[in-house]
């Protein structure tokens, strides 16, 4: 029993070392900008870079917009599919999985063909239009995660009966949606939102090919031209991702003790 446990721990440590040792090495390297001593100079340099601040805030704004519009798209869709089109569920699930199967680069080339400045819907004709297109593409990328987590949260409530109960009390569709359904799938919405956030912050292909100043391309640019800043940026990106993950954990733990169906 005991040796088994120790064996398991060794296996875990061995597996984790694959991941932790490079990270430690990266971190260590990022501290060596000043010759002969450890310092946070690389981080200072990164944070004082205007481009970093611009691209990072651009990506954060994009992430927030993506989350808001993603929620507005996914929650009503998942709700309606569960309520009225249950036989369509496998089909919708398949559709939402498509972005995992089709590489981002293929999607973005498709966009460029469809929405170029001489097309019927010239999204790429202006910077704002391209931003909009980029947001839609982020929504597409996060769709598999968003839909899944919302749909799973919806499974824990009896959508049909709650809807009928609300209707018999005089509620209109918006009231049902925002007072009865939304609050009960909040945990799923939040975990979907955090994954979306992490995806948008890290995404390179889409903003790069659409030529928008997002964090992903900036990361790539720095990586190609500097020595100490890229590891610092990598660590920062990790920290952000981990913070998202930790929040996700917190939310899912919180939601377990929060009100749910008896």
User: Measured from the CB of residue 105, what is the shortest distance to another protein in angstroms?
Assistant: 42
Contacts of residue 174, defined as CB under 8 A and 6 or more positions apart, other chains included, come to none
Smallest gap from residue 172 Cβ to another protein (A): 6
95/157 with CB nearer another protein: 157
Residue 171 exposure: Cα atoms within 13 Å on the Cβ side:
17
Nearer to another protein, 88 or 239 (CB): 88
Distance, in Å, from the CA atom of 214 to the CA atom of 205, rounded to the nearest integer, reads 10
Packing angle, helices 89-101 and 50-84, rounded to 10: 160
Q: If DSSP codes are grouped into helix, strand and coil, which group holds residue 99?
A: helix
Among residues 36 and 259, whose Cβ is nearest to another protein? 259
Residue 26 or 252: which CB sits closer to another protein? 252
Burial 67-93 (b: 16+ CB within 10 A, else e): beebbeebbebbbebbbeeeeeeeebe
Q: Minimum distance from CB of 163 to another protein (Å)?
A: 9
Of the candidates 152, 136, 18, 5, which has an alpha carbon nearest to the alpha carbon of residue 73?
A: 136
Between CA 167 and CA 68 the distance in angstroms is 26
What is the smallest separation between the CB atom of 158 and another protein, expressed in angstroms? 6
Which parts of this chain interact with another protein (CB under 8 A)? 157-158, 161-162, 164-172, 175, 179-180, 183-184, 259-262
| C-alpha dist (Å) from residue 234 to 23, 25, 166, 222 | 9, 12, 49, 11
CA 112 to chain centre: 23
Shortest Cβ 85–another protein spacing (Å): 16
- 28 or 158, CB closer to another protein? 158
Which tokens sit at 162? Answer: 């709650």
Nearer to another protein, 105 or 258 (CB): 258
Determine the straight-line distance between the first and last CA of the chain, rounded to whole angstroms.
38
Query: In the complex with another protein, which residue's Cβ is closer, 83 or 221?
Result: 83
Instruction: Write down the least CB distance from residue 143 to another protein, Å.
Output: 25
CB of residue 71 to another protein, shortest distance in Å: 16
How far is C-alpha 133 from the geometric centre of its chain's CA atoms?
17
């Amino acid at each position: 029993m005991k040796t088994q446990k120790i064996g398991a721990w060794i296996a875990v440590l061995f597996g984790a070392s694959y991941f932790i040792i490079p990270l430690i090495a990266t971190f260590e390297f990022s501290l060596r900008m000043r010759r002969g001593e450890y310092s946070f100079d690389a981080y200072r340099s990164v944070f004082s870079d205007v481009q970093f601040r611009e691209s990072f805030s651009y990506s954060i704004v994009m992430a927030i917009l993506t989350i808001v519009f993603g929620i507005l798209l996914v929650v009503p869709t998942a709700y309606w599919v569960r309520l009225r089109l249950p036989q369509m569920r496998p089909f919708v699930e398949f559709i939402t999985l498509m972005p995992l199967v089709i590489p981002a680069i293929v999607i973005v080339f498709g966009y460029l063909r469809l929405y170029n400045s001489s097309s019927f819907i010239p999204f790429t004709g202006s910077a704002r239009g391209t931003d909009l297109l980029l947001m839609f593409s982020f929504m597409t990328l996060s769709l598999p995660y968003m839909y899944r987590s919302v749909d799973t949260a919806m499974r824990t409530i009896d959508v049909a009966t709650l809807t009928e109960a609300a209707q018999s009390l005089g509620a209109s569709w918006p009231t049902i949606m925002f007072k009865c359904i939304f609050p009960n799938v909040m945990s799923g919405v939040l975990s979907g939102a955090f994954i979306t956030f992490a995806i948008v912050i890290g995404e390179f292909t889409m903003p790069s090919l659409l030529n928008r100043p997002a964090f992903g391309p900036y990361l790539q640019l720095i990586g190609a031209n500097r020595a100490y800043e890229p590891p610092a940026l990598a660590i920062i990106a990790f920290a952000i991702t981990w913070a998202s993950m930790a929040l996700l954990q917190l939310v899912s733990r919180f939601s377990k003790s929060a009100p749910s169906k008896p």
